[in-house]
Structure 1
Amino acid sequence: MNLDPKLLDIIRCPGCRETLSPEGEELVCSGCGNAYPVRDDIPVLLLDEARKPA
């Protein structure tokens, strides 16, 4: 995954508005724990596409 650090500073979880951190090929929310996929270096911030925390 090759995301601009400035982008990571401004995007937020669409579910709870907390910060997102890169983990593998996903962005994981620090609040609710949802994990959003990154496809072709584009974050897919859709709740329907999120992997829910275990």
Structure 2
Amino acid sequence: MNIDATLLRIIVCPECHARLEQVEVAGAPEGTGELACTGCTLVYPVRDDIPVLLVDEARRTG
């Protein structure tokens, strides 16, 4: 997953507005991964190095 560091400093969770952290998914194809919210339990997918920041597309952890 190759997301620009500047973009990661700007984007926030659409649900709670907390910071997002990159999460690598073992065995996932290049350009895919996840962005985990540091405030709530949502994890957003990244497809082709593009974050999908839609609450309906996110999954809840825990």
* TM-score normalised according to structure 2 size: 0.84
Segments of 5+ residues of structure 1 without an aligned counterpart are none
CA distance in 2, matches of 1:23, 1:39: 13
Q: Which of the residues 28, 33, 36 maps onto 1:28?
A: 36
Higher Rg = 2
What are the within-5 Å matches in structure 2 for residues 1-54 of structure 1?
Answer: 1-24=1-24, 25-54=33-62
* TM-score normalised according to structure 1 size: 0.96
Over the aligned positions, Cα root-mean-square deviation in angstroms equals 0.5
Segments of 5+ residues of structure 2 without an aligned counterpart are 25-32
The list of structure 1 runs, each at least 4 consecutive aligned residues, that deviate by more than 2 angstroms after superposition, is none
Q: How many percent of aligned residue pairs carry the same amino acid?
A: 57
**Once the 2 structures are TM-superposed, how far is the Cα of residue 33 of structure 1 from its aligned partner?**
2.2
Residue 23 of structure 1 aligns to which amino acid in structure 2? V
